[in-house]
Amino acid sequence: MMKEIIIKTANYITDYKVQIIFNDNKKRIIDFGKFLFSTDHPSFDKYRKINNFRKFKIEYGNIVWGKNWDLIFPINELYNGKIKH
């Protein structure tokens, strides 16, 4: 049985790029900027400000933004390095 893939750590790199390290030690650098600027959803406006974007955290193996997980992405998309817009 395969182990569930979760995020161990995430480190801010630059702009909207974050290096994510998964529990199998795979590393990905994800550029969230394309997603944030390709949608005009008002709840994402504050995360287009770099100071707010940098306030992500890891909870239950996910990278999340906001107290109520305003922004969260499917683990498999992050693991494969492709976020759907």
Write the pLDDT tens digit of every residue in 31-60: 999 999 998 888 889 999 999 999 999 999
Residues of the chain with pLDDT > 70, as a percent, come to 96
What pLDDT was estimated at residue 1?
64
What pLDDT was estimated at residue 27?
98
Q: Burial code of 29-66, b = ≥16 C-beta within 10 A, e = fewer?
A: ebebeebbeeeeeeebeebeeeeebeebeeeeebbbbe
The structure's pTM equals 0.92
Residue 13: pLDDT above 90?
A: yes
Assigned domain for 14 exists: yes
Assigned domain for 25 exists: yes
- Closest by CA to 6, choosing from 57, 56, 79, 84, is 79
Range of the domain at 30: 7-80
The number of folded domains in the chain is 1
Assigned domain for 36 exists: yes
Residue 75 CA to its chain's centroid (Å): 9
Residue 15: pLDDT above 70?
A: yes
